[in-house]
Chain A
């Protein structure tokens, strides 16, 4: 039996030139707007007791979808049907009154969620206990730290035992211990056969908590399916995009650079025969090479290579800063340097990477310029695991 069914959901925001146009249109029903499609063609169902994760970039429409599910926004077309009571944690403590104590706010908040006062009284102790607020519960909410705020809000929203729980980024705040408690509470929810919708930038939590996931891109469902699968594809997409975005930038940056002491012409990988390659075999030896043009007399340089899975993740890096046996200058204007570093027995077994080659000043702190190589693929071979090392076997009797 389904718990949430969404069919052909569309949401447009109307963009008005002037604020009063919106009002005139509402009253006269004559259009005066431009349309902006936030969500298009969204259809999915969530079975009772299952949980759904929503992932995607900022502005992909995640929050809008959540608001539509909760009912604070109306869809432009399409239908949403939800069975049972919904509790939402879209903004933590949205209903809190800062001047009132935590205890008073429990009542206000639970009333908003539709719980009778009598039932709240029963839950009150449990809520206070779960939120770990202790004596703070009788202090005004405005004195709470953001962590305490979240703890109270999360405790209330989950304690009212809704049939469907909608949570937006709840776990990003609060300390690790409380995050763990939240995850446990949410898992308990799943065991009680309740339905959950969870929107997060934490891929780990989405994988842990959700059975299925939706990847939203520009208001459309890019992928829907088993959460591990969708999250994996989304992460791969993010990684590849980070590199793509960087590469053209880097090339264009040459003219704009403020420091005109030297420039990187290229970075590439060569095999031992000196040929440029874009795929290598595990455990083979290759050269990382970068060519640098000196634009200033008497320049002292340091060199470096980094192996990057994406722009923010350095897998392994090598610098000349602490090496004394590498010539570091002074170089003269017009000189071309070829910097090479030999990688012995590349230990990656699968995947792709870029090599970032760069040149820095004498201290190694100021990088004049860096440049990425093309994408280098590891040739697929038999085996499992992401790393491979050179091993020697020995089997003996006795």
Chain B
């Protein structure tokens, strides 16, 4: 029972590839349908964001850089945390409306609902992946490229699975409890500032620093920064994100599969 639910969950985007593909395409291009700029916004939005944050955090508030990152501009340091976070936050933020928006479809058309969390996660990751890709390209040109970059896809996929698990849980809960929508918005803002993204870890009092292990997003950010900027492999972070990601993904899938039949009754 548990096993068959999980295999259905794991396989969903592959067995229903055509539908998955169509949904992703619909969602992705749907964001720009009817807009003048079209796909141009995909590049403009992250670029403007990067510029704003650079201005605020390298001109207005100047945070002291940790010693290890000596020589790295603060903007680069911050962006390495901010871009992956943005993809995560966007996907989780939209999770609450993922199923609600498609209520007519879910109640009137028989299709594998379990592909929706994958769609809802993939689309923001594609959108923000563009910003991240551009940024990595810039860093590569700047001479940061190293063999350790080969780990990047692994970390990225793990972060994706972690996000997808949360999206599955939140989207399913939101069908029953609309309050989730408000809670998610609040939690995401809090989470953002509790993660050392726009400030270095060293600014947190030392006694509190061990608590960061409870924040998987911190481990992800740490992982990216060390891989790319320091050319080192953050083993302690890696040991956190692997189990946390896989567990979140599986628990999310189990929960979603378990209550998906009730969606029709409630929506």
- Segment at the B interface, from A109-117, A243-251, A309-317, A371-379: A109-117
Chain B, residues 1-31, CB within 8 Å of chain A (1/0): the string is 0000000000000000011011100100110
Q: Does B104 contact A (CB under 8 A)?
A: yes
| A117 and B23 alpha carbons, distance in the complex (Å) | 13
Is residue A343 within 8 Å, beta carbon to beta carbon, of the partner chain?
no
A67 at the interface (CB under 8 A from B): yes
Q: How many whole Å from B254's CB to the nearest CB in chain A?
A: 12
- Asked whether B109 lies within 8 Å of A88 as measured between CB atoms, the reply is yes
Q: Inside 8 A of A108's CB, which chain B residues have their CB? A: 22-23, 26
- A90 and B111 alpha carbons, distance in the complex (Å): 14
Q: How far is the CA of A97 from the CA of B26 in the complex (A)?
A: 8
Q: Point out the residue from A13, A91, A100, A140 that lies within 8 Å of B104, measured CB to CB.
A: A91
**Which B residues touch A26, using CB under 8 A?**
176, 258-259, 262
What 0/1 pattern do residues 209 to 251 of B give for CB contact below 8 A with A?
Answer: 0000000000000000000000000000000000000000000
Residues of B within 8 A of A23 (CB): 173, 176-177
The answer on a CB contact under 8 Å between B26 and A74 is: no
Determine whether the beta carbon of B107 is less than 8 Å from that of A111.
no
Measured CA separation A13–B261 after assembly (Å): 13
**Interface of B: prevailing SS:** helix
Tell whether, in the assembled complex, residue A94 and residue B108 are in contact, meaning their CB atoms are under 8 Å apart: yes
User: Main secondary structure on chain A at its contact with chain B?
Assistant: mixed
Stretch at the interface among A14-22, A53-61, A262-270: A14-22
Residue of B nearest to A89 (CB): B108
A99 touches B (CB below 8 Å): yes
Contact of B109 (CB < 8 Å), options: A19, A22, A112, A116: A112
Q: How large is the interface on A (under 10, 10 to 19, 20 to 34, 35 or more residues)?
A: 20 to 34
Whether A28 is near chain B, meaning CB under 8 Å from some CB there, is no
A70: Cβ under 8 A from any B Cβ: yes
A114 CA to B22 CA, complexed, in Å? 11
- Per-residue contact bits, chain B 74-115, to A (CB 8 Å; 1 contact, 0 not): 000000000000000000000000000000111111110000
**Neighbour of B110 across the interface among A72, A100, A107, A116, CB < 8 A:** A72
User: In residues 1-19 of chain A, which contact B (Cβ within 8 Å)?
Assistant: 13-14, 19
Asked if B264 contacts A112 (CB within 8 A), the reply is: no
- Could you give, for residues 29-45 of chain B, a 1 whenever the CB lies within 8 Å of some chain A CB and a 0 otherwise? 11001100000000000
A111 to B119, CA, bound (A): 15
* B67 CB within 8 Å of chain A: no
Q: Assuming the A-B contacts A90-B109, A112-B19, are A14 and B265 also in contact, with contact meaning beta carbons closer than 8 angstroms in the complex?
A: yes
- Report chain A residues within 8 Å CB of B51: none
A329 interfacial by beta-carbon distance below 8 Å: no
Nearest 3 CB-CB pairings of A with B = A99-B33, A71-B110, A111-B22
* Beyond known contacts A72-B108, A94-B108: 20 more, CB 8 A cutoff: A22-B176, A23-B173, A26-B258, A26-B259, A67-B108, A67-B264, A70-B109, A72-B107, A73-B265, A74-B261, A94-B105, A94-B109, A95-B105, A97-B30, A107-B22, A108-B23, A111-B22, A112-B105, A112-B111, A117-B18
User: B residues engaging A (CB < 8 A)?
Assistant: 18-19, 21-23, 26, 29-30, 33-34, 104-111, 173, 176-178, 258-259, 261-262, 264-266
